[in-house]
């Protein structure tokens, strides 16, 4: 590609130049080039960097201006230097553009993606779905190509990965697997996206078309969220009581329960490092680059032969004293491989300190070899360890799917400063005065609680202004994490959010429960269906027949009658119907957050959201 530089080339070069020019002085110096190479896992000695600079520096001032950079681009284009240079920039760009966030950027901006993530996720998916007969048409994928982005295009792999992370989210009977057409593929992608949303993935900016086209940054962003939910599922005290071994002096279970999965993982790693007599780490990026902490961690958690089902595995520490970082990382990963845990990172990912992939590597280690013993301590109040209720989980997943920041791990603890609640008010179109009325973290050491309480009071004021029913609820209740009263506020936010969607579809006409019930019955009757509902408390709803018939009324022919259990139904029959109904609702495009059990038990709040979401989907037909 010699010859004239096009306008696009020029813009690309300026972007590359800007990425290397860290201090924005319009020149690249040896330090900046050295940093770039180091960050991307290519640790090049100083003299090599100076050699590159000398080759590019036309006016001998020991630095490169943009003009010099441009003038040598043509020479470079055909040379090996150019290829490695471009590769390095791409790798750096991948880390820069996607970083450690799951914030999905909107259309129209330049998106790069991380090759490291692609490589890691492909290997993880290949292993996870290796024996799944429905995925053999795309597996195994080649981690060194873009096959991942075409393989997710029919929705099957995504649906399967969601079920691996949160079992039974999707009723397998609703996945289209044979003789796929553009329409049945679209249904699979709807099912995957709406189910991902229901387990708490932020999918607001992703459409079925983006996945069908395999847009790399969106596919990787979604996959990371799905994989992370699965990896983090058991890093939670109520599901893993042995985590109480990580309690420090003077701490209660409540203190430990407030920690996020990331914080618990860090504490877990440091617990084992302390036992090994090694210094603690503060992160899974810069502090693990030399692999030494990992060596000690593997040595601590490897099976010691004391459990019957786990033969002893001795970690070979010889690689610990290896001089070269990359070789030491490879030696460490060979030991991890003996534990069956070499997933997510390559030596380069360890040495460059890729935070996302190292977090996944450690989470996988924890899941396979926690090496913790539940303390037999009389002082511990195990009664505190109730897992979250279905309702709490649904609310939490709903919030996270809307992209609130910070991510909500614990419903009450994470809402105590009201920052998330205020973001939810914005989602229901209530104006929030962030500049004058909200105290943003980090909070001062003195008076932290006061600042949080002021936010909570403001949130309650906004609720009253939005005509919420808040009798007997004050900011203090949110600040205390009072479950009943916090849920009352959160439910009203979710309800208003759901009704707003309907009002927007219905040209702003007000919607309430009665209007939804009337719409449901009218739609059922017009389609010649026999079911009807009297309210969201109607016990007949427990069979899910009204939901299934409504789905078929909205999208005729979508329901397979043979799969519906009718007549006198056992609880198991009802649950089978409900699972089919919830997945089918998602498949025809309704973003349902409720769970099958909510229908079987006829939980009025959640039942209302199911019918409201279906009404929204039904109104979109016109």
Q: Would the pLDDT of 1 be above 80?
A: no
> Would you state the structure tokens that stand for residue 141, as one six-digit string?
């994928």
pLDDT averaged over every residue in the chain? 88
Ramachandran area for residue 243 (φ above 0: left; ψ -120 to 50: alpha; else beta): alpha
Q: Would the pLDDT of 371 be above 50?
A: yes
pLDDT of 63: 73
Tens digit of each residue's pLDDT (9 = 90 or more) over 252-288 = 888 888 899 999 999 999 999 999 999 999 999 999 9
pLDDT of 13: 67
Work out the pLDDT band at 27, boundaries 50, 70, 90.
confident
Work out the pLDDT band at 40, boundaries 50, 70, 90.
very low
Tens digit of each residue's pLDDT (9 = 90 or more) over 87-141 = 554 544 444 343 333 334 333 344 678 899 999 999 999 999 999 999 999 999 9
Alpha-carbon distance of 345 to 354, in angstroms, equals: 8
What pTM was estimated for this model as a whole? 0.82
pLDDT of 292: 98
Say how many residues make up the chain. Answer: 622
Q: Are 350 and 332 contacting, i.e. CB atoms less than 8 angstroms apart? A: yes
Q: Would the pLDDT of 82 be above 50?
A: no
pLDDT of 324: 96
**More confidently predicted of 67 and 291:** 291
pLDDT of 49: 65
Tens digit of each residue's pLDDT (9 = 90 or more) over 409-424 = 999 999 999 999 999 9
pLDDT of 71: 63
Of the listed ranges 5-19, 150-164, 596-610, the least confidently predicted one is 5-19
* Mean pLDDT value of segment 452-461: 98
Percent of the chain whose predicted confidence (pLDDT) is above 70: 83
Is omega for the bond preceding 442 within 30 degrees of 0, making it cis?
yes
> Would you state the structure tokens that stand for residue 383, as one six-digit string?
């009664």
Distances (CA, A) of 486 to 31, 388, 414, 615: 52, 14, 11, 28
> Would you state the structure tokens that stand for residue 621, as one six-digit string?
């037909």
Q: In which residue are the tokens 């290519």 written?
A: 42
pLDDT of 36: 60
Q: Are 355 and 223 contacting, i.e. CB atoms less than 8 angstroms apart? A: no
């Amino acid at each position: 590609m010699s010859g004239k530089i096009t306008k696009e080339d020029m813009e690309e070069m300026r972007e590359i130049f800007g990425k290397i020019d860290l201090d924005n002085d319009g020149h690249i110096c040896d330090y900046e080039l050295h940093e770039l190479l180091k960050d991307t896992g290519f640790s090049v000695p100083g003299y090599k960097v100076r050699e590159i600079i000398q080759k590019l520096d036309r006016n001998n001032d020991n630095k490169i201006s943009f003009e010099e950079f441009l003038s040598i681009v043509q020479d470079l284009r055909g040379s090996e230097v150019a290829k490695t240079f471009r590769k390095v920039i791409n790798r750096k760009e991948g880390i820069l553009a996607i970083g450690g966030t799951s914030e999905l950027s909107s259309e129209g901006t330049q998106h790069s993606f991380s090759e490291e993530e692609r490589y890691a996720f492909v290997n993880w998916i290949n292993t996870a779905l290796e024996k799944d007969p429905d995925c053999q048409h795309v597996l195994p994928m080649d981690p060194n190509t873009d096959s991942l982005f075409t393989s997710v295009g029919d929705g099957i792999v995504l649906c399967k990965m969601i079920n691996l992370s949160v079992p039974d989210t999707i009723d397998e009977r609703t996945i289209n697997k044979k003789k796929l057409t553009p329409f049945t593929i679209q249904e699979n992608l709807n099912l995957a996206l709406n189910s991902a949303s229901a387990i708490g993935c932020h999918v607001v900016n992703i459409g079925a078309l983006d996945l069908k086209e395999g847009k790399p940054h969106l596919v990787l962003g979604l996959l990371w969220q799905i994989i992370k939910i699965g990896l983090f599922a058991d890093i939670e005290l109520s599901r893993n009581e042995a985590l109480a071994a990580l309690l420090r002096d003077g701490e209660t279970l409540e203190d430990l329960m407030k920690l996020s999965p990331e914080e618990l993982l860090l504490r877990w790693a440091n617990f084992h490092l302390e036992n090994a007599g090694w210094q603690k780490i503060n992160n899974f990026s810069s502090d693990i680059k030399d692999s030494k902490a990992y060596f000690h961690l593997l040595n601590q958690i490897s099976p010691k032969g004391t459990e019957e089902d786990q033969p002893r595995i001795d970690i070979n520490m010889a690689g610990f004293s290896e001089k070269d970082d990359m070789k030491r990382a490879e030696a460490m990963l060979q030991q991890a491989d003996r534990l069956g845990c070499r997933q997510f990172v390559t030596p380069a990912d360890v040495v460059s300190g890729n935070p996302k992939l190292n977090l996944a590597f450690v989470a996988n280690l924890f899941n396979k070899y926690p090496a913790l013993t539940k303390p037999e301590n009389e002082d511990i109040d195990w009664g505190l360890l109730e897992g979250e209720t279905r309702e709490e989980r649904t609310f939490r997943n709903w919030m996270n799917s809307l992209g609130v920041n910070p991510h909500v791990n614990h419903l009450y603890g994470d809402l105590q400063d009201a920052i998330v609640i205020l973001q939810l008010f914005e989602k229901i179109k209530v104006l929030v005065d962030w500049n004058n009325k909200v105290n943003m973290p980090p909070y001062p050491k003195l008076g932290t609680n006061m600042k949080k309480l002021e936010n909570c009071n403001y949130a309650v004021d906004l609720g009253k202004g939005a005509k919420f029913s808040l009798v007997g609820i004050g900011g203090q209740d949110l600040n205390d994490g009072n479950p009943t009263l916090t849920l009352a506020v959160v439910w009203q936010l979710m309800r208003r959010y759901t009704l707003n969607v309907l009002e927007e579809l219905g040209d702003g006409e007000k919607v309430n429960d009665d209007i939804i019930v009337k719409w449901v019955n009218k739609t059922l009757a017009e389609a010649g269906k026999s079911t009807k509902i009297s309210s969201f408390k109607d016990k007949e709803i427990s069979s899910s027949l009204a939901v299934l018939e409504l789905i078929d009324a909205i999208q005729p022919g979508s329901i397979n009658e043979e799969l519906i259990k009718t007549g006198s139904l056992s609880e198991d029959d009802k649950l089978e119907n409900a699972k089919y109904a919830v997945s089918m609702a998602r498949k025809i495009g309704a973003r349902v957050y409720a769970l099958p059990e909510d229908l079987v038990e006829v939980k009025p709040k959640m039942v209302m959201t199911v019918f409201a979401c279906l009404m929204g989907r039904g109104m979109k037909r016109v």
